Structure formats: structure tokens, C-alpha cells
Amino acid sequence: MDVVETAESCRALLDAARVAGRAVGLVPTMGALHEGHVSLISRARAECGTVAVSIFVNPLQFGDPDDIAHYPRTIEADLRACAHAGADVVFVPAVGEMYPSWPAPPATTVSVRGVSDFWEGASRPGHFDGVATVVAKLFSVAGPCRAYFGLKDFQQLAVVRRMAADLGVPVEIVGCPIVREADGLARSSRNVRLSPGERGAATVLWRALAAGRAAVGAGARTGAEVAAAMRAVVATEPSVALDYAVAVDAATLEEIDVVGDAAALRLLVAAVVGPVRLIDNSPATDALVASETAPAHATLPVARPPAGPVRPRRLERIG
């Protein structure tokens, strides 16, 4: 497994893979890898001849200095996880490699209007501009490939899809199932910051989504009814501060007025639990949940070990 720190080195390795006839799979991450990330790498391993993982804590998508300061950084463990999951290339750039003007922000950024305007976009101004910018740069480095993203960040996936389509990027975007704990909590790198009590309270997000699905199944006619059912569940956990709980059109992410085709809906929830802001989502029916959920234990087996040695370098930094 090659661990590289420059865009030039990463690009050369992936170009060589394509010349050799191997399809390239890319898994963009910010590190602190967990079973959800491993599931993405394993999926890429099963479908592509060469698998690249990027590990980069992107400062452009953090509006809160405290959030980026406390974001978990576990590079040695991350490299081991990449190796065991079968990655061939790990790209771990410094901030200056991705943004040469840093600490001055880049003069050119990518903004995706529409799907990024509300929910996470409204609560975290500038967040999706940072996401779209870094993903566009990673796509430029990786070249033609399949890029794997988790459905947990549903709005982010919508933003990336729109960006790739609008810019004509030769990348196929692959959405992958959410990995959950046995109690339904979606795996997140931020979960490690939760105390045991906060960890228990955090399951209210999944319970709220279940209540939303139950409302749809019971014949709720309006999005407001579905949202009210979700909010009522979150209200049972006084330590959890709700940001939003809504039923939206899965394609546009606009809040719905009338419940029509349940398959075209998406339930979204975001809340602050202790020091951590968590998000989650699900389809609007139980029948669709199973196809989008992978239990954590199902991702532990790995496809194959890497062919060569791991060559870690001085990587523990954000700039």
C-alpha cells in the first residue's frame, strides 16, 4: 500500500492503474476511520482494480474553530484500517498541498446552489462550499473513477452528485448503506466524543426517524405531521438540543407539504448531543430501510490485504 502526500504522486499512481486497465475507486475521508468508512473501502475493493483513500481534515468545511480543533485524528490507526480493508493508495495531503495559499483561503471555491441552501447548509454557513471545493479537488487528483460516499451524510451526497453532474466530472458517484450500531446509532467519527450518558441519549435520533416512518405508515397526510412525530420523540431527551427534524423530497431536499409517494421522501434529523452535533436520515418506509442499512458487524470482514508494505510518514497534522 502506497501512502503519498502530494497530488502529483497520487495522480501518477492512479493514472498508471488506468493505463494497466484497472478501474479506480476513490473513498474520500477525513480520517478517524470506523466501520462505516471500512464498508466504503470494502465496496470499492469489490468493484475496482485499484482503491485509493484520501485522508484530509478539510478546514474549509468547518465554521467552528472548536469543532476542527477537537475533530479526532488517528492517522496510524487509519492507515492500518486502510491496509486491512485492501486499499492500494492512501493520499494524506497537508493543508498547503490542497490549498497552496493557506492560511489565506483559496480564491476559487465551488458553490452548489439549491440542494445546499437549507438544513446543514443553513445551520453551517459555508460548510457545503468547503465540501464541494475539496471534493472537486480530490476528483481532479484522482481522475476518472468511481467515488464512494455514505448515505449517512445524505445532503452532502446530493451536493456532490449535483456538483459532479454540473461540472461534467468523469466520476461515478456511488452511495453506500449506513452502518449502524445494534441500537440504531449511525456510526460517526464524532461519536467518540460522547460520554456514556450522551451516547445513550444520541439514539433518540434513530428513534425519531422510526417515529417518522411510523407516522407515514399510519397514513400521515402532511409533512408537518411526520415532522411533529419526530420532534416529539426528540423532546423526550432533555439533554438533546434539536436543530431540525423534517420530511423532504429526496431529490430536491425541499420540505414537503403533502405526503405523496413515500418512496420519494427522505426523513432528516440533526441535533446537538453534549459537545457533538449529530445528523441522521432514513427513507420514509421501513421496507426501504433494510436496503440502506449495514449492521456494524457486517463490515468487519475485509476483502483482501494489500499486496505491499505500508509506508506511513509524518502525517499527523492539519496545517
Q: How far apart are CA 252 and CA 181, in angstroms?
A: 29
Answer yes or no: are the C-beta atoms of 121 and 128 closer than 8 Å.
yes
DSSP string, 224-262: HHHHHHHHHHHTT-TTEEEEEEEEEETTT-PBPSB---G
In the beta sheet, which residues pair with residue 179? 294
Answer yes or no: are the C-beta atoms of 91 and 133 closer than 8 Å.
no
Q: How far apart are CA 135 and CA 88, in angstroms?
A: 20
Place of cell 453534549: 274
Q: How far apart are CA 302 and CA 97, in angstroms?
A: 31
User: Each residue of 213-247: b (16+ CB within 10 Å) or e?
Assistant: bebbeeebeebbbbbebbbebbeebeebebbbbbb
**84 a catalytic residue:** no
Q: How far apart are CA 49 and CA 62, in angstroms?
A: 33
Candidates 37, 70, 127, 297; catalytic one: 37
Extract the C-alpha cell encoding 33.
476511520
Phi-psi region of 299 (alpha: psi -120 to 50; beta: other; left: phi over 0): alpha
Place of cell 468523469: 170
Which residues are designated catalytic? 37
